[in-house]
Amino acid sequence: MSMIEIGNLDVWFGDGHDRVDAVRQASFSVAEGESFGLVGESGSGKSTILRAITGLAPTWSGQITIEGETLTGKARTRKFYKNVQMVFQDPYASLHPRHSVDQVLGETLHLHGFKDIDARVVKLLDDVGLGGRFRFRYPHQLSGGQRQRVAIARALAGEPDILLLDEPTSALDVSVQAEILNLLTDLRDERKLTYVMVSHDLAVVGHMCDRLAVMKDGEIVEVMSVDALRKMEASHPYSQALLKASIAA
């Protein structure tokens, strides 16, 4: 079953002479349980695709189908936000500084209509490797990795089928990046989740994903398997250059 279908997606900002085409004619699909990567340099349009899916991009055309439901415009239903959640790059900016972890998770669970909120908060914290001792702490009392674990717990609160991961480890210290990636891998297996992960780091995509799309200047230039990535078997010149640069780095 295909969980995500993107067809001939265009995303732009502004009008007339001020128009900027951020994504042009992007097409790909993501199967149930798959982890799909979007890679490319900054400004290539990777995160803009996620914003279009979630209704955060102002103007777009083309086809976005999620679990068989075709989306239009910016409006998204309550059902959509239960089934699709996003984890952002900066875990500090995405958490309210005056809300405790308990408030962040409790309010999210309430919005999703759950009743047994106390038990679910504890379970979510356990699931992301924090535990109950972090329940009443505030974001400024947490490390970057701990904040990202809270953000992941919040994303899981509605029991979604799909997680959109926008550079989820790039703002973290190298020492904790692997911990978060391993957590996401375990959660995907345990909860049968489908991922779309944006990253500029080919090593991260190679660790996390089954397939990937390479983006350049708003366009997808190649879709390839992670096996092909590991074997350096890219066919497009830009993809080949990215691979060589990653080895040199």
Q: Is residue 53 part of a domain?
A: yes
Domain residues for the domain of 58 are: 2-96+160-248
User: Does the residue 181 lie in any domain?
Assistant: yes
pLDDT of residue 248: 62
Q: Angle CA(177)–CA(180)–CA(183) in degrees, nearest 5?
A: 150
pTM of the entire predicted model: 0.95
3-state secondary structure of 119: helix
pLDDT confidence of 249, banded at 50, 70, 90? low
In angstroms, the CA 48 to CA 51 distance is 5
Measured CA angle at 240 (ends 235, 244), to 5 deg: 155
| Number of folded domains that form the chain | 1
Q: Does 164 reside within a domain?
A: yes
Whether residue 56 lies inside any domain: the answer is yes
pLDDT tens by residue, 14-43: 998 999 999 999 999 999 999 999 999 989
Residue 113 maps to a domain: no
Q: Is residue 115 part of a domain?
A: no
Question: Which DSSP category does 151 fall into?
Answer: H
For 177-209, write each residue's pLDDT tens digit.
999 999 999 999 999 999 999 998 998 999 999
Q: How far is CA 94 from CA 65, 70, 99, 104, 152, in A?
A: 26, 28, 11, 11, 11
CATH number at residue 91: 3.40.50.300
CB neighbourhood size of 219 (10 A) = 17
Mind listing the pLDDT tens digit for each residue in 51-106?
999 999 989 999 999 999 999 998 899 999 999 999 998 878 889 999 999 999 99
Examine residue 72 and state whether it is found in any structural domain, yes or no: yes
Domain-embedded: residue 244: yes
